[in-house]
Structure 1
């Protein structure tokens, strides 16, 4: 019969900390997308007051659309990575199972 080795608690701790860093990086990336989206929105709102251009309405609409697209992409990106991170959380500490199945 095979002898089970005790779980390496340092390895499990490192894996948990790595997942926490990844979660924080994902949140930081989402906030960067949100900030960029807001910059485009504010640029669209203030364009008419700052510049007197003939087709300022078209430029404003383009900036609003860009803001919306950036926000939607950032939100989808955040939830996609959040799901991936949560799927990897369940494997912490289970690394030994692969070795004992062999």
Structure 2
């Protein structure tokens, strides 16, 4: 099976959070930024990719996403800050 990514989008540091899973992180982050798909991220303007985590198997990524969605907000913030303490938009790192 193809690998996958867990990612978190937001509108600003400590703002609204969205946890998602995808097999193509660059394409999916672009879709969020460009409001290509209607839904939660478009409604709340979540365009900033602040966390991503690679998994070799997509099934593992899906399981991890399901667990993260159940986490308290404070734990998600701690996870983001452990990798990205300044809440930088990681989208540009995907293009290099």
TM over 0.5: no
Structure with a larger share of its residues in helix: 1
Q: Please identify the structure whose Cα radius of gyration is greater.
A: 1
TM-score, normalisation: structure 1: 0.24
Structure with a larger share of its residues in strand: 2
TM-score, normalisation: structure 2: 0.25
